[in-house]
Amino acid sequence: MSSDRLSGGTPSIQRRLTVTLVAIVGVSLVACSLTVYVKFTQGVWRDFDARLVQDAHAIALMVEEYGDRPWEIEPGGFEAFKQMRGPASVEIWMDDGSVLWRAPGSVDLPFPAKAAGPTFSDVTLRDGRPGRICQAWLPPRQGHEGGVHQAASGRRIGIAVARQIDEPLATIAGFRVLLWAPTLGVILVAALAASLSIRTMLGHVKKISEGIAALDASSPGDRLLLRGVPDELRPPFVKLNELLSRIEASRVRERQFNADVSHELRTPLAGLRSILEVSASRGRSAAEYRVTLGEALAVVRQMETIVENLLMLARLGSGQMTVEREEIALGQLVDSCYAPYAEAARQRGLRFDNHVPPSLIVWSDPHRLRLVLANLLSNAAEYTAEGGSIAVESHPERGVVVTVRDSGPSIPRGAVARLFDPFFRLDPSRSASGEHCGIGLTLVRALCDALGYGVEARNEVGGGVSFTVSAEASSIGFQPSRTHASSSFEEREERREASRTVS
Amino acid sequence: MRLLLIEDYPPLARSVAQGLREAGFGVDVASDGVAGLSSAHAQPYDAIVLDLMLPKLDGFSVLEDLRRAQNTAAVLILTARHDVSDRVRGLDLGADDYLVKPFAFEELLARVRAIVRRRYGRSQTVITVADLEIDASARIVRRGSRVVELSAREYALLEYLAERRGHTVTRSEIWDHVYDFASEPSSNVIDVYIGYLRKKIDQDFEVKLIRTRRGLGYVLGETN
């Protein structure tokens, strides 16, 4: 089951590898053995044929040529032959086709064709057993006539020698066993070894998959043990471990976020409860109740802001928010975003300069951009040291949507990168103190992401802090004097479509 | 009894201070760690209600500093975090109790009363001096079988004398611990209130419980 799941229904690795290995080993071994077998068989038959040829020559020497007289067979010659070379069927022909001599008990052997050399063929012997025959035309021995050596006539006698082939057949059969048994053995052993070693290798996979099955969702710190796992099998499991690490980190972040959220809400909740309980502890005048209710309402509003921000953050994170862009007069938007903080900032002696040209039009989502600006400006208004200054600029041609710059104090070195983290505060106690519940900048970043903008914080050279919202220069906006004249309604619609697809 | 509340979240600080004052405590409020610490060093408070997350100086540091300076005020920690480690750390640093936000105000009040009581070495809520009985939780005073009606200020003074029964209490100690007097411009206000207390507690009885130690102060009950 588990291997099927792993391989997604394709044949198992073990079977495929084993079959392939066995096929390769088998084919090469069989080919090798076949070659050896053929060579050996050929050798055996060559030797057998050579022996038949020798037989033929020995028999030819038994015949004596006597000119015109009938030729003779040396008496007892065949007995000597049989003794020396074993039993054989022999026939001797004259070249006129007449049989000169036939060994007793021999089969009827065919008249030998006249060929240059000896010819060989298989025959069935008289007793029905398979045999092999050698036929050759050879010169006979020269007979002696009264001590006179007869001159050779040049005539030849046809000799056919046939023998049983039991012996070479037995040799070949023996060799076959000798050859094929170990070949098959080797193939079997190879199959077994391959199967075993593959099983061992895959055993690691099985072990790890068991390890994966044993992973406990509630203890994300667990990792797969890779001790003893071969290098080739490691990468997917190393990746899996890396994934586990990332999941763990994200869960830690999530848990921290949840803890932070509950902490954020717990403080105002404690305030609210305390306000109401103390107020209810005794009878009070209407005026006192009014004050109490006002205080309670302020706390509720604050909690509402926190919850709304959290909700927006969640929606932005899940991509549920659509972005609807339109032409926005940025300078005016900056002023209206700063207005709620202006009075408090003035009391703290802060100077505010809006350097955005009144004619500058940007192409963006007014609600999102308003939230971005409101957060950056309220941060600046609250955290800039007394008597300082806040300045807003915009440089679309350089890819800068807006920069909010204040006179400081600077942000500690290590904190700049963490400013946009949820609930990160330079002063950890700044919890729930009014607007700044610790997710303002996180929200700014999420909003910028949704708008396709980048946002970064920087300590300015010579003091002060700047927050810059940036984008691709071409996507930010256009000067009405330049673009409005040339941009038709259709063009703007196109742009609107394009920006929607981007977001 | 005089308390210091160190809490930076204004709605909570205001309401808790009001509630504690209405329960008869003298309450000073500090909204950050540094201010809280300097108040605690300047005044001998009976108890300090201390938030952990404070601007400028966190609650742990305030507590550590207080105990290093041999300040014996009872300390009740307020924390918005559920972490056991925070509470353990707070208690180990010398806090007497803790409370997790949000809390029921009644519980805060009861815990404050308890740590104050323990500070004066008492485990019962009722203080008894001869036939005088002061129920600190119900704020009811009896002499013999008779209930004695006291104003908030008179009660606060009597409660402090009772906590220190058998010991001579100086005027400046009364000044420090019975908060209401500190806001009173008149310099002989303590003597005036001792007079009121005598009228209500001692006048009709043979045994006088409040005695004057000339040049030193007052003592309630038999001297130890």
User: Across the interface, do B105 and A277 touch by the CB < 8 Å criterion?
Assistant: yes
Q: Report residue A433's pLDDT band, with 50, 70 and 90 as the boundaries.
A: very low
Give me chain A's average pLDDT, please. Answer: 82
Sheet strands (E) in A203-271: none
Q: What angle do CA A27, A29, A32 make, to 5 degrees?
A: 105
Q: Does A283 touch chain B (CB under 8 A)?
A: no
Instruction: Pick the more confident residue, A403 or A217.
Output: A403
Spatial separation of the C-alpha atoms in residues A480 and B168, rounded to whole Å: 86
Of the candidates B53, B78, B102, which has its C-beta nearest A273's C-beta? Answer: B102
Chain A residues within 8 A of B101 when measuring between CB atoms: 266-267, 269-270
The DSSP line for B50-116 is EESS-SSS-HHHHHHHHHHTT---EEEEEES---HHHHHHHHHTT-SEEEESS--HHHHHHHHHHHH
Read off the tokens for B158.
């009597």
Tens-place pLDDT, residues B22-58: 888 889 999 889 999 999 998 889 899 999 888 888 8
Domain covering B2-119: architecture:
3-Layer(aba) Sandwich (3.40)
User: Across the interface, do A267 and B106 touch by the CB < 8 Å criterion?
Assistant: no
Indicate if B126-220 has the same CATH topology as B2-119.
no
Instruction: Pick the more confident residue, A433 or A486.
Output: A433
| pLDDT attached to residue A448 | 92
Q: Does residue A478 carry a pLDDT above 60?
A: no
Find out whether B47 and A306 touch, Cβ atoms under 8 Å: no
| pLDDT attached to residue A432 | 43
Q: Report residue A157's pLDDT band, with 50, 70 and 90 as the boundaries.
A: confident
ipTM over 0.85: no
Chain B residues within 8 A of A281 when measuring between CB atoms: 19, 22, 105
Tens-place pLDDT, residues A224-265: 777 777 787 788 888 888 888 888 888 888 888 887 788 778
Q: Does A430 touch chain B (CB under 8 A)?
A: yes
Q: Does residue A21 carry a pLDDT above 80?
A: yes
Mean per-residue pLDDT, B158-175:
87
Q: What angle do CA A436, A439, A443 make, to 5 degrees?
A: 120
| pLDDT attached to residue A434 | 45
DSSP summary character for residue A385 = P
User: Across the interface, do B103 and A274 touch by the CB < 8 Å criterion?
Assistant: yes
The domain limits of chain B are: 2-119, 126-220
User: Across the interface, do B80 and A428 touch by the CB < 8 Å criterion?
Assistant: no
Q: Does residue A3 carry a pLDDT above 60?
A: no
Q: Report residue A148's pLDDT band, with 50, 70 and 90 as the boundaries.
A: low
Would residue A31 be called left, alpha or beta, if left means φ above 0 and alpha means ψ between -120 and 50 degrees? alpha
The helix (H) or strand (E) run that includes residue A244 is helix A234-280
User: Across the interface, do A281 and B22 touch by the CB < 8 Å criterion?
Assistant: yes
The model's pTM: 0.59
User: Across the interface, do A270 and B105 touch by the CB < 8 Å criterion?
Assistant: no
Chain B residues within 8 A of A267 when measuring between CB atoms: 9, 12, 80, 101
Q: Report residue A145's pLDDT band, with 50, 70 and 90 as the boundaries.
A: low
Query: What residues contact B15, with CB distance under 8 A and at least 6 apart?
Result: A271, A274, A275, A277, A278, A279, A295, B105
Alpha helices in A86-165 (DSSP H): none
Q: Does A433 touch chain B (CB under 8 A)?
A: yes
Tens-place pLDDT, residues B95-135: 999 999 889 999 999 999 899 888 887 777 788 888 888 88
Q: Does residue A484 carry a pLDDT above 80?
A: no
**Percent of chain A topping pLDDT 90:** 24
User: Across the interface, do A275 and B11 touch by the CB < 8 Å criterion?
Assistant: yes
Chain A residues 243-272 within an 8 A CB cutoff of chain B: 259, 262-263, 266-272
Tell me which CATH code domain B126-220 carries. Answer: 1.10.10.10
Mean per-residue pLDDT, A263-284:
89
Q: Is A474 helix (H, G, I), strand (E, B) or coil?
A: helix
Find out whether A296 and A464 touch, Cβ atoms under 8 Å: no
| pLDDT attached to residue B29 | 93
- Structural domains of chain A, ranges and CATH numbers in brackets: 1-214 (no CATH), 232-317 (1.10.287.130), 326-502 (3.30.565.10)
